[in-house]
Amino acid sequence: MKKKIYHGSDHIVKTPGYHGGKPHNDYGYGFYCTESSEMAKEWAVSEEHDGYANCYELDLQGLKILNLNRDYTILTWLTVLIQNRTFNMDSPLAVEVSRYLSDHFNVDTALYDLVIGYRADDSYFSFAQDFLSGTISYQQLRRAMYLGELGEQIVLVSPGAFEAIHYMGCEEALRSDWLLRKTERDRRTRAEYLHSDRMRYRRGELYAVTILDEEIRPDDPRLR
């Protein structure tokens, strides 16, 4: 099976490099892509530069795929994020729940060729931070991840994955076209979040302190 994917960048990337990028991305080192050319164009631009949506064909035959959204609960996605991103651990609760998740919900991404999961842009990252601090429940976090319709990112994390990718060309992304869409998506997502769930306490839902106190594990039916 072959899949068309896109990588947003400020330059053309004909030959992606293994272990390129930054170590503190969502899933660590890797080549971050999306199936949406529009999302790639949003990711490619900034106030300083235009960009490109680089297009590739990815042959999935024989690749070992970790799908965090399909095969695990959102707490595993959050745990992988904790291993790679820098969170503001400004409370004892955030420290303790991060440690608990790392002990019981972690998965070794190094065992796979591809990782599929949510992209933690600024707004999604703030939702995850709110959960760790006890502001929102597990259920509220899960609902929030559908706001903004960011979709999934596909990350190449092994030498085998890079051997399976073929450059197909690129589409130019002008910041005059795509920067406003990018900032407006983030603004709209935050507004929907603030006016829907964040300011409401949901009795009976799972908050970080409940997960700690009840020692909830990945197979708990309440996480489904």
Tokens of residue 107, six digits = 């998965």
31-40, 162-171, 189-198, range with the lowest pLDDT: 189-198
What whole-number distance in Å separates Cα of residue 153 and Cα of residue 5? 9
Tokens of residue 72, six digits = 């695990």
> What DSSP line would sit under 75-119, residue for residue?
HHHHHHHHHHS-----SHHHHHHHHHHHHHT---GGG-SEEEEE-
Q: What's the pLDDT tens digit per position in 67-76?
A: 999 999 999 9
SS3 annotation, 141-168 = HHHHCCCCCCCEEEEECCHHHHHCEEEE
Pair 9, 91: CB distance under 8 Å? no
Greater confidence (126 vs 11) lies with: 11
What whole-number distance in Å separates Cα of residue 59 and Cα of residue 57? 7
Greater confidence (190 vs 52) lies with: 52
